Chain A
Amino acid sequence: MSWAAHQFEIYAVHAHLPRKMQAQVSYFGIYLGDFTPDFLSKFWVYGFNYNGHHYGSKVPERWHRGWPGMGITHTLFLGVIFAAIFWAWKRNRAFTVGYVLGYAAHVLTDVNDSVGVMLLFPFTALSWSLKTWAYAATIGGGKYLDAASYYSSLGLVMDLFWMVVVLCSWRVFTREYWRTKVVPADPHIWAWFGRRLPERGLLALYRATFFYGVCRMIAWSTWAHLVARPVINGVQHHGYPMDLSWTGPWWLDARSLHHVSPLLVLPAVLLLLTLVYWVANRLWEPMGRAQDAARARRSSSSRS
């Protein structure tokens, strides 16, 4: 799984929208799309202890990414279903397209760990994984071991990569960008927050996900490498050993599910990413016309 990368990619998606979609795709749509897969599946992955009993998944990786399990939450298929339901309900193009793009970003980023995602579900339940770093959610280790493993592997590089991508588009954090490119796509939501918060609070709310991503990356990395005193193979270490080799770190068994050859994964990801943007691009104008027609119907029915 990826950690802060999921926070950073929201801004990266918003900053690199096709020209005709700029200032018209919902930031909250991208945020919720990116947030949904782990929101629906992750709590039970780690589980919790109560009265000496562990409540949670028996096989975390199967629950999180497999089938049967909640692996369906990490498929483009479910993202499209949710977006279609929302579209049928609200006819809101800005949110629907943003939601699909955010969802796709999350799913496609998660092919990097050793478990991967079911990219072509429901056609096949095989996992697609690049095995860049080890999937480390375990019942015994919980979130701590997961974080230590991720921030001792190429996962840290992935987070830094996304952070640099966003920082290269630093204008995305300016007041001007927020006022002219973010607020117009979600006028009602920002107006609702605006009745409760001053402008500096609204701007902080918009930047808050990036802030959280940076802080959690620094905090977990600091803990894993400067504070923790793990015992690995009977030897106590000052901090978890760093290992930037493929499918690292070496000190943890990388979990995996039945998967396709990793050689197929990168072309498939690029193809699907292109397909998602191509479809969004093709549907943009027809969705706009349908949205306008639905608004006209609503306003005429409210007048009568």
Chain B
Amino acid sequence: MTDPVPPSLDHQGSRRLGRREEAFWYVLAAVSYVGLGVYHKWLLNWIVGPLWLVATVTIGPAIIDRIRRRSTSSADA
């Protein structure tokens, strides 16, 4: 019998974000997209815009988790 999936993990075993962390990534995505979009208008389209958010929210926390794991394992060693 397999263990039930902990509520903090999703169907892929990825971490679910808390409210504050989620808000942080959304605001980061918005500020960076608007900031760049004002001067690089080609970014302001229906493909890049949605992808920008999905990529930030998906990849950002994964990178942070990897860095944290690496620094923890190097501290243990």
Contacts and interface: CB of A to CB of B under 8 A. Distances in A.
B38 A219 contact: yes
Interface string A212-236: 1011101110110001000000000
B54 A197 contact: yes
A49 to B, nearest CB: 14
A211 B29 contact: yes
Interface in B22-47: 22, 26, 29-30, 33-34, 37-39, 41, 44, 46
Contacts of A197: 12, 54, 58
Contact of A201 (B26, B33, B37, B58): B58
A40 B3 CA distance: 50
A163 to B, nearest CB: 13
A198 interface: yes
Contacts of B33: 215, 219
Given A144-B41, A220-B44, A194 B11 contact: yes
B6 interface: no
A227 B12 CA distance: 44
Contacts of B54: 197, 201, 204-205, 208
Contact of A199 (B16, B37, B49, B51): B16
Interface core residue of A143, A207, A211 (most chain B CB under 10 Å) = A211
B7 to A, nearest CB: 11
Given A199-B10, A215-B34, A227-B38, A209 B58 contact: no
B11 A199 contact: yes
A41 to B, nearest CB: 14
A209 B50 contact: yes
B50 A201 contact: no
A208 B46 CA distance: 10
Interface core residue of B16, B54, B58 (most chain A CB under 10 Å) = B54
B46 A212 contact: yes
A223 B34 contact: no
B67 interface: no
A200 interface: yes
Given A211-B29, A215-B49, A204 B38 contact: no
B57 A212 contact: no
A200 B10 contact: yes
24 contacts: A143-B41, A194-B12, A197-B54, A197-B58, A198-B11, A198-B14, A199-B12, A199-B16, A200-B22, A200-B58, A201-B54, A201-B58, A203-B57, A204-B26, A204-B56, A205-B50, A208-B51, A212-B49, A215-B34, A215-B37, A218-B34, A219-B34, A220-B44, A222-B34
Interface of A: 35, 143-144, 194, 197-201, 203-205, 207-209, 211-212, 214-216, 218-220, 222-223, 227
Closest 10 CB pairs of A and B: A212-B49, A198-B14, A208-B50, A199-B10, A201-B58, A219-B37, A204-B57, A211-B53, A204-B54, A208-B53
